[in-house]
Amino acid sequence: MDLALREGLQVLGASRSDERHPVLRPYRDNANLARFRFERIDLNHDLERLLDLIDDFRPDGIVDFAGQGMVAPSWEAPEQWYQTNIVAKVRLHKALVERPFVRAYVRISTPEVYGDQEGPLLESAPMCPSTPYAVSHAAIDMSLMAFHRHYAMPVILARFANFYGSGQQLYRIVPRAALCALEAGRLTLDGGGNSVRAFIHGRDVAAAVMAVLRQGKFGETYHFSTDEFVTIRRLVEMVANPAGVAVSSFCVDGPERPGKDAAYVMDTGKAQRELGWSPKVDLSTGLKETYDWVAGSLDVLRTLPQQYVHRA
């Protein structure tokens, strides 16, 4: 959103959560902040209000980051993930096909829909989700493509490696690791932190979203990732390095998360060829920048919730 505002766009943001504390808003000092409007809306209960806002705002494009997140808790109440990520979304999508002023709908998806497959994966790889969370994302992706075929809904799917960067929610692995390293906290690594992941910086995510909005082809899927793959344990080591503390001093090994996939390796050639996109922020630079944000905001961050709180 910071990038969209800097480019002079009008932006309407909607979330079922309150707008975050200013320290968690990378856009808070944006010179065009007056172009942003935030509304607190729960898609499960406030669809008509959301549609009224859309009718009033008349956006050219919608970028859908919304959904019930977090993988492990999805095993405890999968019906909640299916309600929010599938049923509520389908109701929204059915209403949007009647609003032709929406000229692009970009759905931010996840490589978890592919499950535990060997990569590099092309966009045509079969879906084989391993968790209720991933099932809900695969289902809504398929539903959107059906809407594209039947209604000519201007759908584009974008699947991203793990996000990180300044302003991220504190329960996510990168800011959480920095906080634990600085505050002598305790961080549990699922399965000892041996899963392999790629991490993509927020600025590269923003550039990718803008590229998809402007150049993406309807009915297509694009992958966005770096080619730097690390284990979660190695990632935590890199985050903690500026603090001068060993991972062993604040990390403990925990059991593996049910249904956790070993790795997601996506081929990004299509995004590079068709959209001219490539990541600009290398992992070491981005992690140091995020650590510096945590360290420089520590007095405020330590007063904010640092654990994920599940909301039905």
Tell me what pLDDT residue 303 has: 94
Q: 159, 106 in Cβ contact below 8 A?
A: no
Structure tokens at 81: 């993930």
Domain residue extents for the chain: 2-169+200-227+264-280
Which residues is 11 bridged to in the sheet? Answer: 36
- Give the per-residue pLDDT at 309: 74
Cβ-based neighbours of 106, under 8 Å, separated by 6 or more: 61, 62, 63, 64, 156, 158, 209, 212, 213, 216
> 226-252, pLDDT tens digit by residue?
999 999 999 999 999 999 999 999 999
Q: Give the pLDDT score at 283.
A: 97
Integer Cα distance of 23 and 301 in angstroms: 8
Query: Rounded distance, CA 4 to CA 235, Å?
Result: 29
Q: Where are the beta strands (DSSP E) in the chain?
A: 11-15, 36-40, 61-64, 104-109, 155-160, 162-164, 187-190, 196-201, 221-224, 229-231, 251-254
Peptide bond into 132 cis (omega under 30): no
Q: What is the pLDDT of residue 231?
A: 96
- Mean pLDDT, the chain, rounded, equals 95
Predicted confidence at residue 172, as pLDDT, reads 95
Tokens linked to 160: 């991203």
Both tokens of 196, joined, read 């392999």
Confidence (pLDDT) at 69? 86
Predicted confidence (pLDDT) per residue in 108-157, tens digit: 999 999 999 988 999 999 999 999 999 999 999 999 999 999 999 999 99
Q: Does domain 2-169+200-227+264-280 have CATH number 1.10.230.10?
A: no
Q: What is residue 118's predicted lDDT score, i.e. its pLDDT?
A: 86
* In contact, 291 and 242? CB cutoff 8 Å: yes
Residue ranges in the chain whose pLDDT is less than 50: none
158: amino acid identity, one letter? A
Report the distance separating Cα 129 and Cα 117, nearest Å: 10
